[in-house]
Amino acid sequence: MTKPIWIIHANQLTTLASNHKGPRIGKAMSDLAIIEDGSLWIEKGVIEAIGTTQELAKDFADRLEEAEIVDASNHLVTPGLIDPHTHVVYAGSREKEFEMRLEGATYMEIMNAGGGIHATTRMTREATEVEIMEQTFIRLDSFLQHGVTTVEGKSGYGMDLETELKQLRVMKKLQKQHPIDLIPTFMGAHAVPPEYKGKEDEYVDTLIHEWLPIIAKEKLAVFNDVFCEKGVFTPEQSERILEAGKKWGLVPKIHADEIEAYGGAELAAQVGAISAEHLLKATDEGIEKMAEAGVIACLLPATALYLREEAAEGRKMIDAGVPVAISTDCNPGSSPTTSMPLVMNLACITMRLTPAEALTAATFNAACAIKCEHLVGSLEVGKQADIVMWNVKDYRELQYLFGVNHVKAVWKKGIQVVDRGE
């Protein structure tokens, strides 16, 4: 029998607890429901009780000796971070393109010349399942080291049925082998593969009629995502793919308005997408429609920085009533990072989110963007004990001391999986 864990004396315990069910909107994004001198009682991987150290000492007075005590004096304790948008399952690397972009080539030029997504697709098609698993495992370890305990992952570096299935099956296996929870998204519509150049609608038909049913029947994905962008998939094609996915029970997500304003935010509202991603170029009308429909804006400030683009208008979106989540977009081209703490820093610096909003965007709202908020994203009784202890005292310090990994320890389902010492 594993012992209960009793975390005591946290300088700040940001619980993010609330009676409100859906994603936090507007002012509610600033309410971290902080307990000072905070304490948690963890048993069988679940949070049994939460309160001040004094309260829990009283409630568990007859069981204190059973527990393993973790002294969190002078430390901040938060829910495990959640990354709701990644392309973490792939083979190979693209450092040459990084250099090419610095020398003046654009992201779309590289992609249209057969690089970019196509380059990773070639490497992922050629790699064995074991090779992809090994490479992805290392990235998941790095996520964990940065305080991330749940990660969404997309297919989309196959764009043929065999490799799309290979990516999704790798996720299923990693879900069993790695402590991180991996939530799978089908993204066959990540680009038009070279075999279908000039026959884009034929590719869309194949996706809809042949691949989606197989993926849904094998229960390999929860979400269905599309790169709706000029030169990739039109809003009409994107709509067809997302509506077809809905019939199979797959929840829509959209890479929207990343490079040009293309009606992606509006489409997200129209099809009832759970989230729209990127949104660097989203129009005011698109933002308004997302607010009305309750679509979560999943913003990726590390990608904007890496592509040397102006970040999305996160401040404006929160003020307009759009629920905002943030993510690494971890991928080998536009954002090769696993650092959610850096993404929180950038959300503050480049999008003017406040430190509290950035933490909500990386925890509870991120959980909502992948429909996991009943299990994770806040510290509440009955939820998974996914917890991070940081080498800072205050949540504002976490956002202020930027570009540094402040993680001290991580627990996943009540098991300590990271110990970074003093």
Decide which of ligand NIG, Fe ion, none touches 227; Cβ closer than 5 to 8 Å per partner kind.
Answer: ligand NIG
Between 48 and 164, CB nearer to ligand NIG: 164
Residue choice 23, 38, 84, 116 for contact with ligand NIG (CB under 6 A)? 116
118 is a contact residue toward ligand NIG (CB under 6 A): no
43 is a contact residue toward Fe ion (CB under 5 A): no
Gap between the Cα atoms of 375 and 12, Å rounded: 22
Positions 381 through 400 that interact with ligand NIG (CB under 6 A): none
Between 39 and 185, CB nearer to Fe ion: 185
CA angle 211, 214, 217 (to 5 degrees): 145
CA angle 111, 133, 386 (to 5 degrees): 105
Gap between the Cα atoms of 285 and 329, Å rounded: 25
Min CB(225)–Fe ion separation in Å: 8
164 is a contact residue toward ligand NIG (CB under 6 A): no
258 is a contact residue toward Fe ion (CB under 5 A): no
Positions 93 through 112 that interact with ligand NIG (CB under 6 A): none
First to last CA, the chain: 28
Please enumerate in sequence order all residues whose Cβ is within 8 A of that of 167, keeping only pairs 6 or more positions apart, or say none. Answer: 89, 90, 124, 132, 155, 156, 157, 158
84 is a contact residue toward ligand NIG (CB under 6 A): no
229 is a contact residue toward Fe ion (CB under 5 A): no
Residue choice 34, 40, 117, 351 for contact with ligand NIG (CB under 6 A)? 117
Residue choice 143, 227, 390, 395 for contact with ligand NIG (CB under 6 A)? 227
153 is a contact residue toward ligand NIG (CB under 6 A): no
Give the bridge partners for 326, in sequence order: 299
Residue choice 9, 24, 75, 87 for contact with ligand NIG (CB under 6 A)? 87
Gap between the Cα atoms of 304 and 199, Å rounded: 31
Min CB(354)–ligand NIG separation in Å: 25
Please state, as a whole number, how many other Cβ atoms lie within 10 Å of the Cβ of residue 159.
Answer: 26
SS3 191: coil
**Residue 57 parent element (H or E):** helix 53-59
Which range of residues in 21-29, 43-51, 115-123, 382-390 is near ligand NIG by CB under 6 A? 115-123
Name the residue with tokens 């990773």: 120
Gap between the Cα atoms of 415 and 237, Å rounded: 45
Tell me the two tokens of residue 165. Answer: 């299935």
Between 9 and 94, CB nearer to ligand NIG: 94
Gap between the Cα atoms of 243 and 240, Å rounded: 5
Decide which of ligand NIG, Fe ion, none touches 386; Cβ closer than 5 to 8 Å per partner kind.
Answer: none
Gap between the Cα atoms of 154 and 169, Å rounded: 11
Task: Give the distance, in angstroms, between the CA of residue 394 and the centroid of all CA atoms in the same chain.
Answer: 23
Positions 290 through 329 that interact with Fe ion (CB under 5 A): 329
Gap between the Cα atoms of 416 and 422, Å rounded: 15
Decide which of ligand NIG, Fe ion, none touches 116; Cβ closer than 5 to 8 Å per partner kind.
Answer: ligand NIG
Instruction: Write out the residues near Fe ion by the rule CB under 5 A.
Output: 329
Give binding residues for Zn(2+) as ranges.
85, 87, 255, 329
Instruction: Write out the residues near ligand NIG by the rule CB under 6 A.
Output: 87, 116-117, 120, 227, 255, 258, 303, 329, 331-334
Give binding residues for N-formimidoyl-L-glutamate as ranges.
157, 331, 333
Give binding residues as ranges.
85, 87, 94, 157, 190, 255, 258, 329, 331, 333-334
Give binding residues for 4-imidazolone-5-propanoate as ranges.
94, 157, 190, 258, 334
